[in-house]
């Protein structure tokens, strides 16, 4: 495996070399380090287009990438992650799942179609974005297009980033960067704008994953969308993308967006269905949500559905374990096989953790499996209408192959409501509701 060998060599050689690069040489070195003559350098340089400021991307593991700055001229620290998607930067950047992260685009040409305006749809949601603001802390691209061209664009990517105070760097060999990230998993990075690269020691490394990112991304209070809907869905907001809300509303549901730690168990009786959204960071911060779900499983008889983070929370609540994937699944091209039909669908994904489905809890089965690495892509309950998927059926960006899951969910909710299936199993209504009510009181 020559690539892996080369990779380990790179990372091993990097730390001491990085220190040797004096800040003064960094400014002038608008060059390409030639790997034919010199050993692989830890300093990746790039000439900067005239007129733009120099920017540096420094990884905690020691590598430095030099390029040109665009967007806001500020510095930031975040977890460096990548996406292999070909299109969809406005959607990805406003996706709350990328909160606290420096987002690397493997497609080198970014910014081509500008940024669309802030039009809102009938439900009051931004039509072209997945949340109100840019969620990632910074972006890293190969070749930023200073001039954009699209009928729907109102400003350039740089103007948008600048307005929202998000820094960006262009002129980075993103493929070399992905080689490093792929090998070492979660890597903190520092994006600083200015003439000199600082030494790794001088950077104040703050791991965004130490915070509860879900709590930051979640809504503070209950918000109701499409109040005239005929079925009432509780959408637990771990950092929900707007298109999840929209997809449910478009199916005719009344959606109550509730905070991640909302006492849902106390109100179970008023919901015809429960939906758990995607969200940033590690699922282990959401013990409160997991506990709520565990209690709901015991008594709730109507459909529950989870997406991404929701899948992990539902699995953890069912008694499964989560682990960190060797290579995370990030892109719009991930194949997932539906185990109930054998069909393979192409999905949009962005996750570094997965459920361990080697042993399933009683009454639970695998729902979807990744056709590339065999990792879990979804689980389902064998008797109750509880299902979840690891990928993003709401897409934005990504393929729309699985958007039917929303229709199926709402159809099921509607059918069970029409059939008069009691929301809560009779035997335990009092017990759980009272218990949790007293717990919160």
Partner 1 sequence: KVQGPVEFPGAEAAQARRKQREEWERELAADDSDKSGRIVNGRRIRKVLVLGSGGLSIGQAGEFDYSGSQAIKALKEEGIYTVLINPNIATIQTSKGLADKCYFLPVTPDCVRKVILHERPDGIYCTFGGQTALNIGVKLRDEFEGLGVQVLGTPIETIMVTEDRELFAAAMAEINEKCAKSHAASSIDEAVVAANDIGYPLIIRAAYALGGLGSGFASNEEELVALCRKAFAASPQVLVERSMKGWKEIEYEVVRDSVDNCITVCNMENFDPLGIHTGDSIVVAPSQTLSDEDYQMLRTTAVNVIRHLGVVGECNIQYALNPHSREYSIIEVNARLSRSSALASKATGYPLAFVAAKLGLGIPLNEIRNSVTRETTACFEPSLDYVVVKIPRWDLKKFDRVSKNLSSAMKSVGEVMAIGRTFEETMQEAIRSVDTSFDGFSRNSYVAETKEAIEEELTKPTDLRVFAIANAFHMGYTVEEIHLLTAIDRWFLCKLRGLVETERQLQAFAADQRIPRDLLCYAKQQGFSDAGIAHFTKRNEMQVRNTRTGYGIRPFVKQIDTVAAEFPAHTNYLYITYNASEHDVEFVDNGVMVLGSGVYRIGSSVEFDWCAVRAIRTLRENQFKTIMVNYNPETVSTDYDEADRLYFSNITLERIMDIYEAESSAGVIISMGGQAPNNIALALHRNKVKIFGTSPENIDGAENRYKFSRMLDQIGVDQPQWRELTQYEDAETFCDEVGYPVLVRPSYVLSGAAMNVVSTSTDLKTYLNQAATMSRDYPVVIT
Catalytic residues: 308, 392, 394
Nearer to partner 1, 74 or 337 (CB): 337
Nearer to partner 1, 218 or 334 (CB): 334
CB of 248 to partner 1, least distance (A): 19
Nearer to partner 1, 270 or 372 (CB): 372
Tokens of residue 280, six digits: 């940033």
Considering only residues 57 through 96, tell me which ones interact with partner 1, judged by CB under 8 A: 65, 82, 84-88, 90-91
Give the Cβ contact number of residue 215 at 10 Å: 18
Q: Tell me the C-alpha distance between 355 and 377, whole Å.
A: 8
Number of chain positions touching partner 1 (CB under 8 A): 87
| Share in percent of the chain as helix, strand, coil (round to 5) | 30, 30, 40
Pick the binder of partner 1 from 119, 132, 373, 430 (CB under 8 A). Answer: 373
Nearer to partner 1, 116 or 266 (CB): 116
Asked whether position 306 contacts partner 1 by CB under 8 A, the answer is: no
Asked whether position 46 contacts partner 1 by CB under 8 A, the answer is: yes
Tokens of residue 407, six digits: 């229709």
**How many Cα atoms within 13 Å fall on the side-chain side of residue 46?**
25
Asked whether position 397 contacts partner 1 by CB under 8 A, the answer is: yes
Give the residue among 273, 275, 371, 361 at the shortest CA–CA distance from 315: 361
Question: Which region, judged by CB under 8 A, interacts with partner 1, from 101-109, 132-140, 231-239, 299-307?
Answer: 101-109
Q: Tell me the C-alpha distance between 367 and 206, whole Å.
A: 37
Asked whether position 331 contacts partner 1 by CB under 8 A, the answer is: yes
Contact criterion met (CB below 8 Å) for 276 and 306 = yes
6-45 footprint of partner 1 as x/- string (CB under 8 A): x---x-------------------xxxxxxxx--xx--xx
CB of 5 to partner 1, least distance (A): 8
Secondary structure (DSSP) of 372-411: TT--EEEEEESSSSEEEESS-TT-SSS--TTTHHHHHHHH
Pick the binder of partner 1 from 233, 369, 416, 432 (CB under 8 A). Answer: 369
Nearer to partner 1, 210 or 407 (CB): 407
Pick the binder of partner 1 from 13, 27, 74, 145 (CB under 8 A). Answer: 145
Pick the binder of partner 1 from 56, 60, 99, 128 (CB under 8 A). Answer: 128
Contact criterion met (CB below 8 Å) for 132 and 95 = no
Give the residue among 227, 251, 302, 238 at the shortest CA–CA distance from 406: 251
Asked whether position 366 contacts partner 1 by CB under 8 A, the answer is: yes
CB of 302 to partner 1, least distance (A): 25
Pick the binder of partner 1 from 285, 330, 351, 381 (CB under 8 A). Answer: 330
User: How buried is residue 13: exposed, middle or buried, by Cβ count under 10 Å (0-12/13-18/19+)?
Assistant: middle
Nearer to partner 1, 282 or 370 (CB): 370
Pick the binder of partner 1 from 371, 408, 412, 429 (CB under 8 A). Answer: 371
Nearer to partner 1, 22 or 32 (CB): 32
CB of 430 to partner 1, least distance (A): 38
Q: Quick one: which H or E segment has residue 335?
A: strand 321-338
Q: Tell me the C-alpha distance between 261 and 237, whole Å.
A: 9
Q: Tell me the C-alpha distance between 62 and 49, whole Å.
A: 25
Asked whether position 151 contacts partner 1 by CB under 8 A, the answer is: yes
CB of 84 to partner 1, least distance (A): 4
Nearer to partner 1, 84 or 301 (CB): 84
Q: SS3 for 93-142, per residue?
A: HCCHHHCCEEEEECCCEECCCCEECCCECCCCCECCCCCCCCCCCEEECC
Considering only residues 232 through 261, tell me which ones interact with partner 1, judged by CB under 8 A: none
- Phi first, then psi: what are they for 289, rounded to 5°? -65, -40
Task: Evaluate the CA torsion angle 364, 382, 435, 261 in order and state its sign.
Answer: positive
Pick the binder of partner 1 from 54, 69, 107, 295 (CB under 8 A). Answer: 107
Considering only residues 163 through 202, tell me which ones interact with partner 1, judged by CB under 8 A: 173-176, 178-179, 182
Task: Provide CB contacts within 8 A for 38, sequence distance 6+.
Answer: none
Question: Which region, judged by CB under 8 A, interacts with partner 1, from 14-22, 70-78, 202-210, 324-332?
Answer: 324-332
CB of 406 to partner 1, least distance (A): 15
Tokens of residue 5, six digits: 């060998």
CB of 299 to partner 1, least distance (A): 28
Tokens of residue 158, six digits: 């740089």
CB of 197 to partner 1, least distance (A): 14
Nearer to partner 1, 115 or 265 (CB): 115
């Amino acid at each position: 495996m020559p690539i892996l060998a080369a990779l380990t060599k790179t990372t091993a050689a990097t730390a001491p070399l990085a220190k040797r690069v004096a800040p003064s040489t960094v400014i002038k070195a608008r060059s390409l380090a030639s790997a034919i003559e010199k050993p692989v350098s830890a300093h990746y340089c790039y000439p900067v287009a005239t007129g733009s400021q120099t920017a540096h991307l420094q990884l905690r593991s020691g590598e430095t990438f030099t390029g040109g700055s665009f967007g806001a001229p500020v510095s930031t620290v975040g977890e460096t992650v990548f996406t292999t998607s070909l299109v969809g930067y406005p959607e990805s950047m406003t996706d709350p799942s990328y909160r606290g992260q420096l987002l690397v685009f493997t497609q080198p040409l970014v910014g081509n179609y500008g940024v669309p305006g802030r039009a809102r749809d009938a439900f009051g949601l931004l039509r072209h974005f997945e949340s109100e603001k840019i969620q990632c802390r910074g972006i890293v691209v190969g070749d930023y297009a200073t001039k954009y061209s699209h009928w729907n664009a109102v400003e350039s990517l740089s103007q948008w980033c600048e307005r929202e105070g998000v820094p960006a760097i262009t002129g980075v060999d993103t493929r070399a960067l992905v080689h490093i990230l792929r090998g070492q998993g979660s890597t903190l990075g520092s994006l600083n704008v200015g003439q000199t690269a600082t030494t790794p020691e001088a950077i104040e490394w703050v791991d965004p994953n130490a915070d509860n990112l879900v709590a930051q991304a979640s809504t503070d209070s209950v918000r109701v969308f499409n109040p005239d809907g005929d079925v009432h869905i509780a959408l637990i907001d771990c950092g929900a993308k707007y298109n999840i809300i929209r997809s449910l509303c478009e199916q005719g549901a009344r959606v109550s967006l509730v905070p991640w730690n909302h006492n849902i168990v106390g109100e179970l009786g008023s919901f015809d269905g429960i939906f758990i959204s995607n969200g940033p960071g590690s699922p282990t911060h959401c013990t409160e949500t997991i506990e709520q779900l565990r209690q709901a499983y015991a008594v709730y008889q109507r459909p529950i559905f989870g997406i991404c983070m929701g899948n992990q929370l539902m699995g953890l609540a069912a008694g499964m374990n989560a682990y960190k994937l060797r290579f995370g699944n990030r892109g719009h091209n991930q194949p997932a096989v539906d185990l109930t039909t054998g069909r393979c669908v192409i999905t949009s994904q962005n996750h570094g953790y997965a459920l361990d489905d080697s042993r399933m809890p009683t009454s639970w089965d695998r729902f979807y499996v990744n056709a590339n690495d065999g990792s879990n892509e979804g689980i389902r309950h064998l008797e109750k209408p509880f299902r979840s998927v690891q990928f993003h059926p709401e897409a934005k960006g990504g393929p729309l192959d699985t958007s039917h899951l929303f229709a199926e969910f709402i159809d099921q909710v509607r059918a069970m409501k029409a059939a008069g299936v009691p929301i809560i199993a009779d035997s335990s209504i009092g017990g759980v509701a009272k218990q949790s009510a007293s717990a919160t009181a």
